[in-house]
Chains A and B, each alone.
Chain A
Amino acid sequence: RAQTAQAQTLRFGLMEDPDALDPTLARTFTSRMVFAAMCDKLVDIGPDLKPVPQLATSWSLSEDEKTLTMTLRPGVLFHDGEKLDAAAAKYSIERHLKLPGSQRRGEIAPIDRVEVVDDLTFKIVLKTPFAPLMAQFTDRAGMMVSPKAAERLGDKFSTAPVCAGPFKFVERVPQDRIVLERFDDYWNKDAIHLKRIEFRPIPDGTVRLTNLRAGQLDLLERLTPTDLPQVTRDPKLKVGSTIELGFQSIVFNPNKAGSAVADPRVRAAFDLAIDRNALNQVVFSGEFLPGNQWVSPKHPAYVKEYPIGKRDVAKAKALLAEAGVTKPVINLTVYANNEAPQVGQVIQAMTREAGFDVKLQATDFTTALDAADKGTFEAYLYSWSGRPDPDGNTFSFLACKTPLNYARYCDPEADAALGAERATVDPNQRAQAWKRLADRVMADRPLIYLFHRKLFWAYTTKLTGFTPYPDGLVRFNGLKLN
């Protein structure tokens, strides 16, 4: 019996230790891995990136796109036995909006108020139309917490989070493990076969993989592409993968005094000097997806008018000559992790042929962020984990004076396009807005987008029912350990 209990414990190797396990305060990508098992959302994301029912069974948007009415699934309980009703939903959304230090506020800022209609129905009233709203509810902003527990614990909620998901919180040893246990009153409990989940943060990719191979883990996230052959060779292991929603890019800081990158022609030359396919081949064994926009070429919102250009060193040189710079020295900030420096080295080698002299600056995460914030960097190899709605990949980066706009990009036309994109859920209108945005950004190149990662999971063959999702999160429904 102990054997089977043991067998039904999934040991999941994470790339880093999640931060606060509070959907309102959490900010890391990794924390979402844990929430995926612990906190159900109002809606989930489908394979086609469209919202599908989860805690909410149905929803409707008013004509003016300013009121969203949602109906909750009946009989859903929080882990502490409290009922999930409209009042609880209102509480959770308001908590996201108002708790000091909330990381969700920005995601759902256009919400004006939440009104309880009846026991299971509530209305969300917006200040302005906000197209990405449903997409936000597929993530942490859509997670419901038990009002009773939240009230009791306040900003210490993360020490004993109480949600309405398939697994409930058992214990957490920082930097060692997070343990969850099956919630027996889960609304969809028949789909849950695992008894326990143990999340184990193991930052080093090699170490994570050796742990899987040694049988210390059953599943790991973010396998390094170069390790793929090892896993495929191993008959006891399997691989799952999906293209991420985010992007890898180089952000330029044109405000940097005396920097050559202030000239768009130099940025264009830089872009032209890079062979995205070769880069992909060298560093990622060709597994990733070369890109040139904020979404991947496979994404419905990809602006087809701007396909990935070919590398053209001659043209790059010409552009540089036109800009009147010879051998521009460009400091490229990269994270000191395993692959960023590699990417940097390849870019360095490629751009050298066009006459650039790229200096790599590998720094820790905080230092890089600080340089980005303060605008002391020159070029920055930046990655974004991505959001289901393209707005999450663009607005904060390209709109005037937005927090992630490290390029300090500010263009009225681009701002207008971003406004239009947000204002409606109509696919055609939005597609036009994306095109307008691309017109500006593809010309100005405040960022140049390089590629989109493929997210790899490696797991033992004992694990069945594993389906990769584009948001990079694991769905624990249907997972089974044999």
Chain B
Amino acid sequence: MSHVGSPRPGVIGAGTGLPPATGLAPATPPRAEPGPFRAFWNRLTARRSAIVGLVIVVALILMAVFADWIAPYDPIATDWGAIRSSPDWAHPFGTDEVGHDVLSRIVFGARASLGAGLTSVALAVALGLPFGLIAGYAGGILDMLIMRLTDALLAIPFLILAIALAAFLGPSLTNAMVAIGLSATSTFVRLTRAQVQAVAAEEFIEAARAVGNPPWRIALRHILPNIVPAILVQATLTIAAAIIAEASLSFLGLGQQPPEPSWGSMLNVAKNFLEQAPWMAIWPGASIFLAVLAFNLLGDGLRDALDPRQRT
């Protein structure tokens, strides 16, 4: 079936990088190729800041997942004897206004806060990516429609949208996530579209058309993988924003419902006891900072690691 005639030895030699004429070079066989993921991983871990980010993110996620084992107390168990007591051996991070152990709430709060960040961003990406892809690649009337809709959504102030959505869906963490996610969607549509348009202008897309790829395959197989890094970076930035947004919605009573903890709502309550019980604010504040920092470091690292020009 193969149409290839017997290749010339010289031509073969050219490809292997072996000198055809002398046998002098050490005949190094090509090293075992690292798979794409392995290569990506090597690039990622080659950066110290990315490792720091990754370690913190993983630690936070583990903390959220294994909160039941890590937290010294039930985060919603109240201790009437210890209302707003300052940090001591029994409660290393102190207790809050109804006698919850702050440390346990920080540990469990990671679920809500990281969850808010990750879920809302996942939603925004899940919605924004396909629409952005369609708008950017199909163009024409579809693009026009999607972009007008996106513009309209962007033009509505985020908080109004979020408040209205949260109020409509009923205040709960899940719904706050949905609201934050929906509000962030238009940014992703825009970003995806811009990225798609940039990638679609690349020559390899033309090359893909030249071998007869149908449009849907170009969009999914050729464009999509190339816009993922930009989306990922934006996503990690948005996670940070979403954690803060959850805090803001908590401020308005639309976030995590009491007594379940989230860092944002803890911070929100803590502001009423700023001088009496500063520890109520310090820990959730530090946790948010740590998470934001970690996600951003990781995001920067991912961007670099996904850049094919970066060598391992």
Task: Contacts A226-B276, A230-B276, A336-B171 given; indicate if A362 touches B258 (C-beta within 8 A).
Answer: yes
Which of A226, A338, A348, A363 interacts with B170 by CB under 8 Å?
A363
Interface flag for B97 (CB, 8 Å): yes
Within 192-248 of A, Cβ neighbours of B (below 8 Å) are at 205-206, 224, 226-227, 229-230
Contact with A362, one of B83, B171, B272, B274 (Cβ below 8 angstroms): B171
Chain B residue numbers with a CB within 8 Å of A363 are 167, 170-171, 253
Residue of A nearest to B260 (CB): A360
Asked if A308 CB lies within 8 Å of chain B CBs, one says no
Give the A-B pair count, Cβ closer than 8 A: 71
Interface size on A, residues (CB 8 A): 28
CB distance from A390 to the nearest CB of B (A): 32
State whether A336 touches B259 (Cβ < 8 A): no
Tell me the complex Cα distance, A6–B174, Å.
51
Q: CA of A413 to CA of B218 in the docked complex: distance in angstroms?
A: 78
- The answer to the question of B257 belonging to the interface, with a C-beta cut-off of 8 Å to chain A, is yes
Q: Which applies to chain B's interface (DSSP): helix, strand, loop or mixed?
A: loop
A278 partner residues in chain B, CB cutoff 8 A: 80
Of all chain A residues, the one with the shortest Cβ separation from B99 is A282
How many Å lie between the Cα of A281 and that of B82 in the bound state?
A: 12
Interface string of A333-376 (1 = CB under 8 A from B): 00111100110111011000000000011111001000000000
Q: Which of B77, B78, B272 has the most CB of A within 10 A?
A: B272
Chain B proximity of A402: nearest CB distance (Å): 28
> Restricting to B232-257, which residues have a CB under 8 Å from any CB of A?
252-254, 257
B275 close to A (CB within 8 Å): yes
How many B residues are at the interface, by size bracket?
A: 20 to 34
Given A336-B171, A346-B78, A224 and B272 touching (CB < 8 A)? yes
Q: Note all chain A residues with C-beta closer than 8 A to B274.
A: 206
Q: Nearest Cβ in chain A — how far from B285, in angstroms?
A: 16
Residue of B nearest to A343 (CB): B98
Contacts A337-B253, A360-B258, A361-B257 given; indicate if A282 touches B83 (C-beta within 8 A).
yes
A339 to chain B, nearest CB (A): 9
Residue B73 CB within 8 A of the other chain: no
A338 and B258 alpha carbons, distance in the complex (Å):
11
Judged by a CB distance under 8 angstroms, whether B273 is at the interface is yes
Q: Which residue of B lies closest to A224 (CB)?
A: B272
Verify B171–A206 contact, CB threshold 8 A: no
> B259 touching A348 by the CB < 8 A rule?
yes
Contact present for A362 and B98 (CB under 8 Å): no
- A229 vs B83: C-alpha distance when bound (angstroms): 15
Q: Is A76 an interface residue (CB 8 A)?
A: no
- Chain B residues with Cβ below 8 Å from A262 are none
Q: Does B222 contact A (CB under 8 A)?
A: no
Is B303 part of the contact surface with A, judged by Cβ < 8 Å?
no
Chain A neighbourhood of B78, CB < 8 A:
282, 345-346, 349
Q: Give Cα A345 to B170, complex, Å.
A: 19
Bound Cα distance from A353 to B272, whole angstroms: 28
Does B47 sit within 8 A of A, measured CB to CB?
no
Complex contact A345–B80 (CB within 8 A): no
CB of B271 closer than 8 Å to a CB of A: yes
A282 CA to B84 CA in the complex, in Å?
10
Establish whether residues B253 and A362, one from each chain, have CB atoms under 8 Å apart when the complex forms: yes
Q: Is A283 part of the binding interface, using a Cβ–Cβ cutoff of 8 Å? A: yes
Contact of A205 among B83, B171, B259, B272 (CB under 8 A): B272
Q: Which of B76, B97, B271 contacts A342 (CB 8 A)?
A: B97
Inside 8 A of B98's CB, which chain A residues have their CB? 282-283, 342, 345-346, 349
Contact B257 A360 (CB under 8 A): yes
12 interchain pairs (CB within 8 A)?
A: A206-B274, A226-B272, A230-B276, A278-B80, A281-B80, A282-B78, A341-B253, A342-B258, A345-B259, A346-B78, A360-B258, A367-B170
Other A-B contacts than A341-B253, A345-B76, 4 sampled, CB-CB below 8 A, are A283-B98, A348-B259, A360-B257, A367-B170
